[in-house]
Structure 1
Amino acid sequence: MEGAEMEEARVEDREHDHNNTQEDAQIEESEQKNKDAEVAPALVSVHPTQNSVAVAVGSDLRVFNLLDNCAVNLVDESGGASHNDSIRCIKYGTNGKLFVSAGDDKLFKVWSTDCWRCISTVVSEKRLSAVAISNDGLHVCFADKFGVVWVVDLAGFDGSEASLDKKAAPLLSHYCSIITSLEFSLDGRFIVSADRDSKIRVTVFPSKPLDGAHEIQSFCLGHTEFVSCLAFISSPDSPQGILVSGGGDSTVRLWDIISGSLLDTCEVGAKVESDATEGNCSIITGICTILDCTLIAVAIQSLRGIMLLACNLPSRTLSVTKLVSIIGENFVPTSLGSSISGGLLWMVTGASKFRGPDISPCSRVKGISGFNKNSPDSSEQEPVVLADTELPGGVKLLEKLQGSMLIDEKVFLVAADAVKTAMCNLLNKKQYSDEKREFRKRTRNDKKKKQ
């Protein structure tokens, strides 16, 4: 009798294991489909003095030299493509000598803009979500999807080295919350980090960053959904600048980072006309301050154009001034950029990979002019969307940054929908069943092997 019971138990165990295997296979297939469906928005970044413009779409990093009016050939001595998965963040340093890129391939790359050579590649354990460069160019930072900000010391680099073998050290942590944006204050004293859990943390950037940042200046709390982007506005009364943030709650907010106090809130969702967006989706996807004037350009999910806000510095308030529409095109900006000089706002739309026409990653670049640096009064600004031939670099620039001049506009409409879905999937917290949670624990690939 005992033998029969043991055999029956073994059969039940085998059936249980078989069922678990089938469930794991189904969950794994679902997880893989979700991963395959992920897309990354096209990104744009502009040199501080508009010497060059960079666009990232998918794993492609494309740079155009505006001074020499020619495409830039990137030099990466690590071999192969510069990135082998979607690039999630790109940024120029304050003085324009450094440029950083990072993404889903867990690679953080530092480029010298003098010769556009990769001078350092750092491998992360997690996929990367935000980058920043200190104002003095001595330190570069990147954040991962586990909520950790890392710092790399570039002290002593003069641009002559072939490459730098640098290691990253942990700087600060948001404790398991995806960091969505990193910015240094205008005076370089603080590093500001925003996350998916609606928090903005202001941290004193230490004199020895490799030892970690242990002094928190303030928390800016007020967003009711994820914070998607940060930017600073220059103010004579605040050397550190005034912080501007946007998020999933359809608001743009103004902050005093010293005290963490909320100065003003602009309800963007209520200001956008109902027919300007699809399904009234008013998530803020990008913010760009127009330097030397008090205008803020805001990209809103599904909006074919941008919204301009004015910041009244004496009263520290925000107000909507204009809605600049892109007429006749399915152009929904996925990223914005501007420079100290030029008075030009750059925009890009596009996505890395999406379910649609079988084409390589594509982007569309546009510019808006009419921002007069000598006239901070927003009522005197008359923004104009430039034609392709009116952009600096003209057709040559577009051929480099867009990848193709002849792309069906329906592609960008599909791309906009794909980016919208991807952002919601990335930044809205996921709910898992008990079975799926256990599967993720069993199959996580970031556990370090014990020595």
Structure 2
Amino acid sequence: MEDGETNKDVEVAPALIAVQPNQRSVAVAVGADLRVFNLHAGSAASLVDESGSSFHKDFIRAIRFGAKGKLFVSSGDDKIVKIWSVEYWRCICTVSSEKRVTAVAISNDGSYVCFADKFGVVWVVDLTGYDGNQPLVNKKATPLLSHYCSIITSLEFSLDGQFIVSADRDFKIRVTVFPSNPINGAHEIQSFCLGHTEFVSCVAFVQAQDYPHGLLISGSGDSTVRLWDIVSGALLDTCEVATKAGLLESNNDKSEERDHAVTDLCTILDGLLIAVAIQSFQGIVLLKCNPATRTLSVSKLVSIEGGAFVPTSLGNGASTGILWMVTGVSNLPGSSCPSFARVRAISGFDVEQEPTVVEHDKIPGGEQLLENLQGSASVDDAVFLAAAEAVKTAMCNLLIKKQYPAENRESKKRTRNDKKFKL
């Protein structure tokens, strides 16, 4: 990477998981395949798309339930954003994107769907007044804000809906005032949260009595989780999770940090606990957030035995104390099982219990859920580990900016093909 050389390995896509806030449904995406299990009915949900187009044709990179659980959004490399009504799992709207989509978010009241593309532009789709009875036709996205050619990795609305937070690969977190009429664009920047030394991979909010917007937490390729006040942009605390987990020594080695990037985080019990997934850790790191003292600390390491399970995505229903995890990949080169997903769950997140991995026969939805969300292919530990390494390489290629020696920079300037010639 120091030479600026591009890795030519085949691109892969990690498996993703999302949980409806009331935990009625769990969704898993692997490659272009979207699988949904209805826990209330105890069966797989049948997705209906009457838009005239097929389901996703390329890797799904982002999935999200709305705060009220009525809407679901999926999008990715096919430049298509699909908005689903969760009640009947019907696609109510298909919106085209100019570029590949990297992140999605739904406003707290369900009136707006936002998505970010690979060129750093955030777009908004207006759903104001939609009653959920009929499909929406001819809906188009309009630009909301831009990070100017920096890949946006995560989007999140503040708890009160007043701000939208966008994070990118250039270490930045931007806090923007979400306007009353976002179709005209968002022009007021509240703050920048600056302090990460590598790409920001994920953000989320925790509840705090003195902060109606919530306190922001962020994970990064620098192996840290950080706590922020979004109004001022002040960094409140930093937790070196990889170091605390014993995966990384405190030697400020950038290459080592990249091997232990934070890939996802998920709040539990209104943010009092934060589950953190790290690239090389077979399990999760549990952090404790103390809003009163505005601090983060490591609470527990939860290892997953019986297989090389390195989570690629985390999800949690707000009404339960169950954390859902998925590991998996699509398009894994040289494997007899190029696409697979494996789902696990952890329960016992309260003061009287120790968090434990739920056995397969006791997982909500049981074997039926696992069969529908995972597929039936048998996967051994070697494939799991190969998948984890492939995801790590893909994230590195996409998000870590390449550094070129001075002589290489001048050569590339002379040979670039986007020069403007005067006529």
Give the TM-score normalised by structure 1: 0.86
2:363 to 377, 391, 403: 391
Secondary structure class of the residue paired with 1:37: coil
Secondary structure class of the residue paired with 1:336: strand
Alpha-carbon distance in structure 1 between the residues aligned to 2:328 and 2:414: 36
Contact 2:205 2:271 in 1 (8 A): no
Q: Please say if 1:413 is aligned against 2:385.
A: yes
Alpha-carbon distance in structure 2 between the residues aligned to 1:279 and 1:193: 26
State which drifts further: 161-170 or 244-253.
161-170
Count matched residues: 405
Task: For residue 269 of structure 1, report the CA deviation from its aligned partner.
Answer: 2.3
Partner of 1:179: 152
1:325 to 303, 315, 331: 303
Partner of 2:56: 83
Contact 2:51 2:93 in 1 (8 A): no
1:429 to 391, 396, 401: 401
Q: Given residue 401 of structure 1, which amino acid in structure 2 is its aligned partner?
A: L
Q: Given residue 83 of structure 2, which amino acid in structure 1 is its aligned partner?
A: V
Partner of 2:242: 269
Task: For residue 381 of structure 1, report the CA deviation from its aligned partner.
Answer: 4.6
Q: Please say if 1:292 is aligned against 2:270.
A: yes
Task: For residue 439 of structure 1, report the CA deviation from its aligned partner.
Answer: 7.4
Alpha-carbon distance in structure 2 between the residues aligned to 1:392 and 1:186: 28
Alpha-carbon distance in structure 1 between the residues aligned to 2:208 and 2:348: 22
Q: Given residue 343 of structure 2, which amino acid in structure 1 is its aligned partner?
A: V
Partner of 2:252: none
Contact 1:74 1:117 in 2 (8 A): yes
Contact 2:329 2:338 in 1 (8 A): no
Alpha-carbon distance in structure 1 between the residues aligned to 2:332 and 2:239: 33
Instruction: Give % identity.
Output: 65
Alpha-carbon distance in structure 1 between the residues aligned to 2:288 and 2:247: 22
Give the TM-score normalised by structure 2: 0.91
Task: For residue 221 of structure 1, report the CA deviation from its aligned partner.
Answer: 0.6
Task: For residue 440 of structure 1, report the CA deviation from its aligned partner.
Answer: 7.0
Task: For residue 404 of structure 1, report the CA deviation from its aligned partner.
Answer: 1.6
Per-residue displacement from partner, 1:148-182 (whole Å, max 9, x unpaired)?
Answer: 00000001211111333211010000111000000
Task: For residue 398 of structure 1, report the CA deviation from its aligned partner.
Answer: 0.6
Alpha-carbon distance in structure 2 between the residues aligned to 1:107 and 1:258: 33
Alpha-carbon distance in structure 1 between the residues aligned to 2:367 and 2:172: 42
Task: For residue 97 of structure 1, report the CA deviation from its aligned partner.
Answer: 0.4
Contact 2:93 2:135 in 1 (8 A): no
Secondary structure class of the residue paired with 2:48: coil
Per-residue displacement from partner, 1:56-94 (whole Å, max 9, x unpaired)?
Answer: 000000000000000011111234541011000000000
- For structure 2, the residue ranges without an aligned partner over 5 or more in a row are 250-254
Contact 1:142 1:151 in 2 (8 A): yes
Q: Given residue 255 of structure 1, which amino acid in structure 2 is its aligned partner?
A: W
- Cα RMSD over matched residues? 2.1
- Give the number of the structure whose alpha-carbon radius of gyration is greater: 1
Per-residue displacement from partner, 1:173-224 (whole Å, max 9, x unpaired)?
Answer: 0111000000000000000000000000000000000000011111101101
2:313 to 298, 313, 335: 335
Contact 2:105 2:157 in 1 (8 A): yes
Alpha-carbon distance in structure 2 between the residues aligned to 1:187 and 1:330: 39
